[in-house]
């Protein structure tokens, strides 16, 4: 059963490499296959619980997580995000609308006019720049706080990434390819850790499933003692793969985020989530 999926998942990549005849990926079929894979692999984990990442695989860690949630360490960061929002409210409301609960769920999306993926963070900085404000630094600090504020206000809403054009489909496919392809000195791919070996341990770290990967971002990580964006996490994983990471908000990471988010469609947003 695992084999079957592995073949399905690697089909696109292998087919392109081996024959150069190009089989277009159908994102929705792809997503359903991935969901089925995880459902069969762990029948006890409910679909809607996949926003919980690696915690689903360990009762101990889940208990620790729940006790942390009693006094969440990220509340100050959300307050900081709210303060940032209030400070330039007119600017943000002009870009995103004044209902702060309706922003997070729109991202990421494929921006047809610019032929690229727009993420919440890239939109925040574009909005600031257009208003003559200095853009925030990517990955942590104010950008993550503001993004966390929008995420917090959208908690419980379902990830709903749309693919309605060939451009969007291609962006998905590019992200998927990056996810599947072994790279770097260790010959690792994202899929090796987060799909084929999800639930196993690398040293003491339990590997999360990619289903649900984007739901909790930006996350508050104990190791960072602060918030970090999804692209910060991508950077960290690529470093562990002994790769020179791409830049935050590079086209590569935007496509990767688009793929990871689409795959997580239907799961509840719960940013900023607590992670070890």
Partner 1 sequence: MLKFKVKQICTALALSTAFIAASPATTMAAEPTAKALEEGKKLAFNRSKGNCLACHAIKGGKLAGNIGPALIAMKARFPGKAGKQELYDIVYGKKARVPKDISMMPPFGEHAILSDEQIQKIVDYIYTL
Catalytic residue annotation: 237
User: Does residue 188 touch partner 1 according to CB under 8 A?
Assistant: yes
Type and span of the H or E element at 2: helix 2-19
125, 178 in Cβ contact below 8 A?
Answer: no
Residue 187: contacted member of ligand HEC, partner 1, none (CB under 5 to 8 Å, by partner type): partner 1
Helix/strand/coil for 201: strand
Q: Is 196 in the site for partner 1 (CB under 8 A)?
A: yes
Question: In whole angstroms, what is the distance from residue 21 CA to residue 105 CA?
Answer: 36
Nearest distance from C-beta of residue 202 to partner 1, angstroms? 5
219 φ, ψ to 5°?
-100, 155
Q: Got the DSSP string for 105-155?
A: GG-SEEEGGGTEEE-HHHHHHHHHHHTTPPPPPSSSTHHHHHHHHHHHHTT
Omega before 275 within 30 of 0, i.e. cis = no
Out of ligand HEC, partner 1, none, what residue 219 binds, judged by CB under 5 to 8 A for its kind, is: ligand HEC
* Structural contact between residues 154 and 269, judged by C-beta atoms closer than 8 angstroms: yes
Size of the site for partner 1 (CB under 8 A): 23
3-state DSSP assignment of residue 170? helix
- As measured in angstroms, the least distance from the Cβ of 198 to partner 1 is 11
Footprint of ligand HEC (CB under 6 A): 53-54, 188, 190, 192-194, 202, 205, 207-208, 213, 216, 219, 233-234, 237-238, 240-241, 256, 275
Binding of residue 192 to partner 1 (CB under 8 A): yes
Residue of the chain from 71, 204, 225, 244 that contacts partner 1 (CB under 8 A): 204
Comparing CB distances to partner 1, the nearer of 2 and 94 is 2
As measured in angstroms, the least distance from the Cβ of 182 to partner 1 is 6
Q: Which stretch binds partner 1 (CB under 8 A): 71-79, 127-135, 175-183, 230-238?
A: 175-183
Residue 42, φ and ψ in degrees, nearest 5:
-135, 80
Q: Which residues bind partner 1 (CB under 8 A)?
A: 6, 10, 13-14, 180-182, 185-189, 192-193, 196-197, 200-205, 207
């Amino acid at each position: 059963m695992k084999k079957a999926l592995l073949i399905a998942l690697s089909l696109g990549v292998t087919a392109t490499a081996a024959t150069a005849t190009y089989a277009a990926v159908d994102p929705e079929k792809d997503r359903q296959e991935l969901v089925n894979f995880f459902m069969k692999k762990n029948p006890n984990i409910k679909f809607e619980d996949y926003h919980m990442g690696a915690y689903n695989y360990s009762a101990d860690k889940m208990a620790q997580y729940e006790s942390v949630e009693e006094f969440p360490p990220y509340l100050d960061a959300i307050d900081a995000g709210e303060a940032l929002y209030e400070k330039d409210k007119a600017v943000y409301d002009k870009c995103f609308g004044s209902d702060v609960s309706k922003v997070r769920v729109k991202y990421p999306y494929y921006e047809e006019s610019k032929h690229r993926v727009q993420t919440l963070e890239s939109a925040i900085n574009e909005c600031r720049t257009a208003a003559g404000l200095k853009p925030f630094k990517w990955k942590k600090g104010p950008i993550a706080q503001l993004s966390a504020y929008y995420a917090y206000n959208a908690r419980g809403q379902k990830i709903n990434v749309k693919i309605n054009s060939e451009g969007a489909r291609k962006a998905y496919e590019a992200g998927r390819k990056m996810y599947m392809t072994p790279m770097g000195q260790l010959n690792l791919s994202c899929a090796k850790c987060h799909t084929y070996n999800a639930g196993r341990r690398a040293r003491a770290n339990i590997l999360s499933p990619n289903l649900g990967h984007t739901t909790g971002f930006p996350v508050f990580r104990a190791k960072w003692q602060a918030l970090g964006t999804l692209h910060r996490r991508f950077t960290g994983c690529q470093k562990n793969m002994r790769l020179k990471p791409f830049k935050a908000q590079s086209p590569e990471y935007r496509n990767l985020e688009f793929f990871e988010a689409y795959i997580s469609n239907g799961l509840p947003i719960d940013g900023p989530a607590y992670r070890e």
